[in-house]
Amino acid sequence: MSALQELSLAVLNGPPEEQALEYEKRWYTWGELGQVARDVVTLIQESGAPANSKIALVAKNRPSAVAAYLGLMGEGLSFRMVYPFQSSVAMATELASIKPSVMVAAAETYDATLIAALQDMGVAAIALREKSAIFVPGLERSTIEPAVSNTPIIEIHTSGTTGTPKPFEFDYDTVARHIVGGRATPSSVGADPKNLPPVLMYFPAGNITGLHSTIAPLLRGLRGMLLDRFSVEGWHDHLVRYRPSAGGLPPAGVQMILDADLPPEDFRSLKMIGSGSAPLDPTVQKRFEERYKVPILLAYGATEFGGPVASMTPEVYQTWGDQKVGSVGKPFPGVKLRVIDPNNFTELSAGAVGLLEVVSPRMGEHWIRTADLAYLDEDGFLFLCGRADGAIMRGGFKILPETIEKALLQHPAVAAAGVVGVADHRLGQVPAAAIQAKAGQPSPSVEELESHLRERVAATHIPVKWTFVEALPRTASYKVHQPALRELFE
């Protein structure tokens, strides 16, 4: 039995009356989570799925989904995380490419469209309820020839740090040693986890951040307060009720807290706030720190690195904080960073902006080339400068414009489409789309295009701004002229 299986079973089979997760002001015990986990494993076995087949887990931020996650690991199964906020048509298309033996998701996920698709594929389906799990009627048996993995893996979709988003495999040993057994929060070192305030958990459970910030703390014996998604109200409630000494905020959340004008006295327990997953405007960081007297410690990581590889630590911040505002800190021990020229791939000197490459010991000793533009200063601090591939950073989500453009071109009235990221006060960037209609046809409505996209892309990809043009601005080589396209929205 692997170390990750042992860790999962240890918490699921712990004292059943102990608190595990608070969700919507109600505590769920380890006994309740353990029951859901056992239900899921039993139903998978009853479905006739081969022991080494892949399972699809659609994990919303719910106690039942967390329980299923832990149950799959406790049984040593291989599973693929599937993004929950997409249309049934899009989800069915993704499942057809995964070829899982069984799908596990919240009961409300299964509508008539998805059920019909699963029946056609021969995929069994388990519906999660908060205290139990049941088969979806008519989907009790797995008859598909599923994808298999000879060693247990957790497959997570990347957000595009190293190029086009793609599935990325983590074996159980990597998760146990480098994620669960990784760096502890400085304020929790040496403390009994049961006596610490519950960890606020708001990142999507199905992302690499969810593995680090939701699953790993639970496996370390910590309790959690689970939110459906980040909200100022939920974050503030956790702060005033539990008085943590350390907290976290997504970059977009920093501006949201400032906009909400929360009282500074509510922040007195905090000694630091961690942030990452997207750039943070240095001026916003400075305003927050001046108002609330709490340092924001930025970090940088990616699914392809197995998580974070650089951060601003409390000790480093004490010495350098005022001089390095906007930096995501220095590399972790064993991590290597370098910046290369995007044209000839030679290493650049301090201060020069280029493509960032990383050696993450979790993943091996090879250099991983990213699509992030960055520079290392003369003191070894890393500063991010944007994306070489034009990716849009919407909060913590990286969106490739090409993904939206290709989907828009599938609409029968669209002749051409151009998508760029435009500044947003709260999220950093949001997608904006320019549409050129086919000759002789009326321009489709925004509502029609949004409905068309929801069938093909994730909700985060839906443009916030739209404009209709007679022709997209183009360069001499007939490529879309990005600066001119951006000017349409600015």
Render 433-476 in DSSP notation, one character per residue.
EEEEEPTTSPPPPHHHHHHHHHTTS-GGGS-SEEEEESS--B-T
Domain boundaries, the chain: 3-172, 224-387, 392-487
> Radius of gyration over alpha carbons of the chain, in Å?
23
Q: What percent of the chain has pLDDT over 70?
A: 96
What local confidence, expressed as pLDDT, does residue 330 receive?
94
- In which band, very low, low, confident or very high, does the pLDDT at 239 lie, cut at 50, 70 and 90? very high
Q: What percent of the chain has pLDDT over 90?
A: 71
pTM of the model as a whole: 0.83
Rounded distance between C-alpha atoms, residue 298 and residue 417, angstroms:
35
- Any residues with CB less than 8 A from the CB of 480 and at least 6 apart, and which? 418, 472, 473, 474
What local confidence, expressed as pLDDT, does residue 386 receive?
76
- In which band, very low, low, confident or very high, does the pLDDT at 476 lie, cut at 50, 70 and 90? low
- In which band, very low, low, confident or very high, does the pLDDT at 189 lie, cut at 50, 70 and 90? low
Helix (H, G, I), strand (E, B) or coil at 193: helix
Query: Under CATH, which number does the domain 224-387 receive?
Result: 3.40.50.12780
What local confidence, expressed as pLDDT, does residue 190 receive?
62
Considering the four listed CATH numbers 3.40.50.720, 3.30.70.20, 3.30.300.30, 3.30.830.10, the one that applies to the domain covering 392-487 is 3.30.300.30
Render 362-391 in DSSP notation, one character per residue.
TT-SS-EEEEEEEEE-TTS-EEEEEETT--
- Write out the E strands in 268-413: 272-275, 296-302, 307-311, 330-331, 336-340, 354-359, 368-376, 382-387, 392-394, 397-399
- Write out the E strands in 5-72: 19-23, 26-29, 54-57
pLDDT of 188 strictly over 60: no
pLDDT of 416 strictly over 90: no
- What's the token pair of residue 270? 């905090």
β-strands 78-81, 153-157 pairing? parallel
- Which of these ranges, 47-51, 189-193, 430-434, has the smallest mean pLDDT? 189-193
What local confidence, expressed as pLDDT, does residue 421 receive?
92
Asked if 42 and 18 touch (Cβ cutoff 8 Å), the reply is no
Residues 69-92 have a mean pLDDT of 95
340-373: pLDDT as tens digits: 999 899 999 999 999 999 999 989 999 999 988 8
pLDDT of 159 strictly over 80: no
- Any residues with CB less than 8 A from the CB of 212 and at least 6 apart, and which? 179, 182, 307, 308
53-63: pLDDT as tens digits: 999 999 999 99
- Any residues with CB less than 8 A from the CB of 25 and at least 6 apart, and which? none
Q: What's the CATH architecture for 3-172?
A: 3-Layer(aba) Sandwich (3.40)
Fold match, 3-172 / 224-387: yes
Angle of helix 112-121 versus helix 88-98 axis, rounded to 10: 20
pLDDT of 185 strictly over 60: no
Plot region of 160 (φ>0 → left; ψ -120 to 50 → alpha; else → beta): left
